[in-house]
Amino acid sequence: MSALTDLLGIRTPVILGPFGGLSSIPLTAAVSDAGGLGSYGLYGYDGDRIRTTIAGIRAATDAPFAVNIWLPTGDEVVPGPEHDGYAAALAPFFAEVGLEPPARPERYLPPVEEQIDAILEAAPAVLSVVFGVPSTALVADAQRRGIRVVGTATTVAEARALADGGVDAIVATGLEAGGHRVSFLGSAEQSLIGLFALLPQVVDAVDVPVIAAGGIADRRGAAAAFALGAQGVQVGTAFLATAESAANAGHRAAIGATPPEQTVLTRAMSGRLARGARNRAITEIEAAGTIAPFPAQNWITGRFRTAAGEQEKTDLQSLWMGQAAPLARAATAAEAFAELAAGIPAV
């Protein structure tokens, strides 16, 4: 047992990356049942949905699992009347899926306090957070309930801030990773550090276990991460491509067909910088130049993206994936897990 596996109560230090909007109970349970740590992203979930989801995961696995939330950064903008203009700018995409541009909702996101209360009540094994340092009160309350707290850093300074905040472990995520860049001390554009440069510096800077994320999709990436001092690997794209994920067939096919240079960092879909495959929606939104701030852009595009996913219109979806996407060759979660575990040195 390593310090990390002992801390998390798992046999193999392979962690499923939490997907905002693409997590599934079957995939979370499959990774946990294999001996790793399954994770489920709770972005946008209210308290009742969180309780129901955690109960569903518990019904699917007896093993430890993590849930993930986005902390507010303080720069979230909630448009007033200008919402209609942002939505109207995307009218052609709504028309393609048979919808009208949506009216402004009562709220774009549930309060993070509501999410935290539900998580603490349900007491999963691990709470992971992105976009900030959890409050000392949250860390203390979680740990008192037996919940381990894992933070996420894109720079060494962020890792130090998380360690000072009392988290139990830190994910060091390199610029290769798919999905959102979760920087919080500086802008995402100024925090783009490759995993091989970031990881050993984070390991040197903090005294808690470090988990490597970004560009790891097979045994070679896992072995390299451990050689640089990681005690675990967190993997998203390789699991997103498997049958158990919530990604549709078009998204899974795109993962295998997208070379690394065709993944892009864009604010087009959510208003925050994120990595995915370039498609027509990204190209046209960027060209138009009308992008609402987060979280409005994410909520507005989410209405047509969800419909596009149901209709298998990949040109209008968020095809989140990392730069190692072509290495994501496993068809099932069990196969992906076994491939990654093969690169982890015996402790």
pLDDT score recorded for residue 250 = 96
Structural tokens at position 300: 């507005």
Helix (H) or strand (E) holding 246: none
Distance in angstroms (rounded) separating the CA atoms of residues 234 and 199:
13
pLDDT of residue 80: 84
Give me the pLDDT at residue 328, please.
97
Answer yes or no: is 36 within a domain: yes
Note whether 275 and 265 are within 8 A (CB): yes
Name the CA radius of gyration of the chain, rounded: 19
Q: Is residue 129 part of a domain?
A: yes
179-180, strands of its sheet edge to edge: 179-180, 274-277, 263-266
- Containing domain of residue 56, as a range? 3-71+79-341
Instruction: Tell me the β-bridge partners of 212.
Output: 172, 233
Residue 93 lies in a domain: yes
**For the segment 196-241, what is each residue's pLDDT rounded down to a tens digit?**
999 999 999 999 999 999 999 999 999 999 999 999 999 999 999 9
Residue 25 C-alpha from the chain's centroid? 15
DSSP class of residue 103 equals P
CA distances from 59 to 21, 25, 134, 337 (A): 21, 10, 28, 21
**pLDDT of res. 100:** 97
Question: Does some domain include residue 90?
Answer: yes
Amino acid 1: pLDDT: 61
Say what the pLDDT of residue 331 is. 96
Distance of CA 129 to the CA centre of its chain: 10
Series of mean pLDDT values for 10-residue runs along the chain (347 residues): 92 96 96 98 98 98 98 86 94 98 94 98 98 98 98 98 98 98 97 98 98 98 98 98 96 96 97 97 96 96 97 97 97 98 90
| 195 within a domain of the structure (yes/no) | yes
Say how many domains are in the chain.
Answer: 1
In a domain, 346, yes or no: no
Phi, psi at 45, each rounded to 5°: -85, 135
Q: What's the token pair of residue 57?
A: 């995961």
Torsion (CA) 255, 260, 261, 265 in degrees, nearest 10: 70
In a domain, 109, yes or no: yes
**Which residues, in sequence order, are CB contacts of 51 under 8 Å at separation 6+?**
118, 121, 122
* CATH number, residue 256: 3.20.20.70
Residue 255 lies in a domain: yes
